[in-house]
Amino acid sequence: MKRPYLREMRAFHSWVGLFLGWILFGVLLTGSLAVFHTELDQWGLTELSFAKPVAPEQAVAQSVEYLSAHAPDARLWRIILPDERDPYLRAAYKTASGGMVEAILNSGPQPFIVRNEQLGSFFLLYHSHLLLKRTLTQIGLFLVGAAGIAMLCVCISGVWSHIKVFAEFFTFRPGKNKHRAWLDLHTVLGILPLPFHLMISYTGLIMLYWLYVPSAASVIYGNNLSTFRQEALGTYSMVLPPQKGPATPLFSLTTLLHDAQSHWGQGAIAKIYVRDPFYKGAIVEFWHERAHQVGQQYARRVYNGATGQLILQNMPLTFVARVQSVLAGLHWVEWGGPSIRWCYALAGLMGAGSVATGLILYTQKQSRAVQNTVLVTVARKLNVCALLGFSCACLSVFWAERLLPYTWPQRNALLPVVFLGVWFASIVHAFLTPTRLGWVHQGCLFITLCGLLPLTGWYRHMSLLSACMVGHWSVAVVDVSALVIALLGCVVLYRVCRHKRVLKA
């Protein structure tokens, strides 16, 4: 391979990583957190008592009693049975405005109405479309898509342009000069989880290929995109046609539960949907759990809600929809248990670290080559606020979820406000402070927010010690992880600050 071609490939790797790396870092970081979205939701809901064990039959009967009393005229009921990951029994119904009101039934003597915006959901929304509402604009989706394409490009170009990349992977030299240490760290973080990086970026893009490349679907289906989505993507929700028929008692869901369990086994049912309860056209769907399958689609058994007759077993899916389901399942990782989720989270954090070290390497190299250009100065400032500032903004959401009073009106809308407010403050600080001090100040803030995060449990009567005593492991693991990250941050900050020139880039 000729040397000019290598230079062009390395330049491509640097510039693509630079301009989209700041977005890609946030997408990877929030995606790594969103892997544990269920556990993060439980960490934030510390006003809940510990879940009481409940048998499936009792859970269904209790949910039907609650929904019949509070939403007999609702078009849709949803019952989520407890499992190993989420021990709470959740019953929800669709309101006239189209929203879902969800209550937890086994956390105390009274049902607990769940807040709509929760911690895990917040990071899911940022990871998928940067908190920009899809009903208003699709800019967020396209920016995330551009970041995914950039990730594919930098992975391929990084391996291609660095001939000795695999040899250098086995020669990590943290004791060498600063640039060499950052380059070795960048190589290790990029190469070790490289198959994961390629898989996660490809599956993230392929899930929305119809949005990024709409021409093929438009040529074949025209304006009938609903048919395209049904055939190519499958369906995840129940259609609500106009109500038909007179009022009719609902067939016993416990009896239908036993019938579904006789085919799938005990503990295999994850959700139950009831469309138009107490009408002749009522439909009941039992959804199989996905913990033991890679596909994102649920296996289903559909019954007539008035007579109990089996209507359909498993939703018909085309081959394309099945492939799409597997690719989506690989990305969203609802399978495999906690070990697989930890592997995804750690690999995602390594990807974020690879992006961060790549951005630092670029500014280090350019600072030596060309002194004080506008691009280098702005890039150095953006590194501070896009890496440490963004991380502090994410931590501020954890603090807000715990500390904001639950009775405040519009509390759910305050999480994005707190996040954007802290991030904006970090941007202002980065541009008004010398770069090396900006790293130190925001690094100290990040360590403080991490190290003191478990103290918020004392404020909400769910301390780390009490969480361990009652077995509330979602709370305990988050608190312990925050302490470990704070400790690692102290080590990194000490190694950086012990040099006379703190961190030029």
In this structure, the strands spanning 76-80 and 310-313 are unpaired
- What is the chain's length? 505
Taking only the tens of pLDDT, the chain with its 505 residues reads 456 667 778 788 888 888 899 999 999 999 999 999 999 988 888 777 778 889 999 999 999 999 999 999 899 999 999 998 889 999 999 998 888 999 999 888 889 888 776 789 999 999 999 998 887 888 999 999 999 999 999 998 887 776 666 566 556 555 556 667 778 888 888 888 999 999 999 999 998 888 888 887 888 888 777 788 878 877 766 666 666 667 889 999 999 999 999 999 888 999 999 999 998 889 999 999 988 888 888 889 999 999 999 988 877 788 888 898 999 999 999 888 899 999 999 999 999 999 999 999 888 877 666 666 788 889 999 999 999 999 999 999 999 998 888 777 777 788 899 999 999 999 999 999 998 899 999 999 999 999 999 998 887 777 778 777 777 788 889 999 999 999 999 998 887 776 545 445 4
Per-residue confidence (pLDDT) for residue 500, from 0 to 100: 46
Range of the domain at 161: 1-45+118-210+337-368
CB 330 within 8 Å of CB 207: no
Determine the pLDDT at residue 421: 97
Closest of 21, 361, 12, 3 to residue 163, by C-alpha = 3
Give pLDDT, residue 96: 86
Please tell me the distance from the alpha carbon of residue 25 to that of residue 263, in angstroms, as a whole number: 45
Please write down the long-range contacts of 154-161, taking CB distance under 8 Å and 24 or more positions apart. Answer: 154/13, 154/16, 154/17, 154/358, 155/190, 155/194, 155/197, 155/198, 155/201, 157/9, 157/10, 157/12, 157/13, 157/16, 158/13, 158/190, 159/191, 159/194, 160/9, 161/6, 161/9, 161/10, 161/12, 161/13
- Pairing assessment for the beta strands 112-113 and 300-304 based on DSSP bridges: unpaired
Instruction: Kindly state the greatest CA–CA separation across the chain.
Output: 82
CB atoms under 10 Å from CB of 109, counted, come to 5
Question: Could you tell me if residue 31 is inside a domain?
Answer: yes
Rounded CA-CA distance 397/40 in Å is 11
**pTM to 2 decimal places:** 0.91
pLDDT digits (tens, 9 = 90+) for 62-89: 999 999 999 998 999 999 999 988 899 9
The pLDDT value given to residue 163: 62
Evaluate whether 273 touches 77 at the Cβ level (below 8 Å).
yes
Half-sphere exposure for 240 (CA within 13 Å, toward CB)? 15
Give domain status of residue 490, yes or no.
no
- Parallel/antiparallel/unpaired status of strands 90-94 and 112-113: unpaired
Domain assignment present for residue 243? The answer is no
pLDDT score of 71: 93
Residue 324 domain flag: no
* Cβ neighbours for 103, distance < 8 A, ≥ 6 positions apart: 66, 70, 90, 91, 92, 111, 112, 113, 114
Query: Is residue 105 in some structural domain?
Result: no
Residue 77 in contact with residue 65, Cβ under 8 Å?
no
pLDDT at 1: 46
pLDDT given for residue 291 in this prediction: 85
Burial of 449 (0-12, 13-18, 19+ CB in 10 A): buried
Report the b/e string of 308-347 with b at 16+ CB within 10 A. Answer: eeeeeeebebeeebeebbbbbbbbbbbbbeeeebeebbeb
Q: Are 430 and 438 in contact (CB under 8 A)?
A: yes
Q: What pLDDT was estimated at residue 502?
A: 45
Q: How many domains does the chain have?
A: 1
Residue 7 domain flag? yes
Amino acid identity of 28?
L
DSSP symbols for 292-344: T-S-SSPPEEEEETTT--EEEES----HHHHHHHHHHHHHH--SSHHHHHHHH
Angle at 465 between CA 461 and CA 471, to 5 degrees: 90
**Element of type H or E holding 288:** strand 283-288
Cα distance between residue 180 and residue 137, in whole Å: 43
Question: 121's torsion region: left (phi>0), alpha (psi -120 to 50) or beta?
Answer: alpha
Task: Write the secondary structure of 247-287 as one string of H (helix), E (strand) and C (coil).
Answer: ECCCCCHHHHHHHHHHHHCCCCEEEEEEECCCECCCEEEEE
Task: Report the pLDDT value the prediction gives residue 168, as an integer from 0 to 100.
Answer: 60
Q: How many CB atoms lie within 10 A of CB 260?
A: 25
Query: Is 29 inside any structural domain?
Result: yes
User: Could you please report the per-residue DSSP string of 135-203?
Assistant: TT-SHHHHHHHHHHHHHHHHHHHHHHH-TTHHHHHT---TTS-HHHHHHHHHHHHHHTTHHHHHHHHHH
User: What single DSSP character describes residue 51?
Assistant: P
Phi-psi region of 308 (alpha: psi -120 to 50; beta: other; left: phi over 0): left
89 within domain boundaries: no
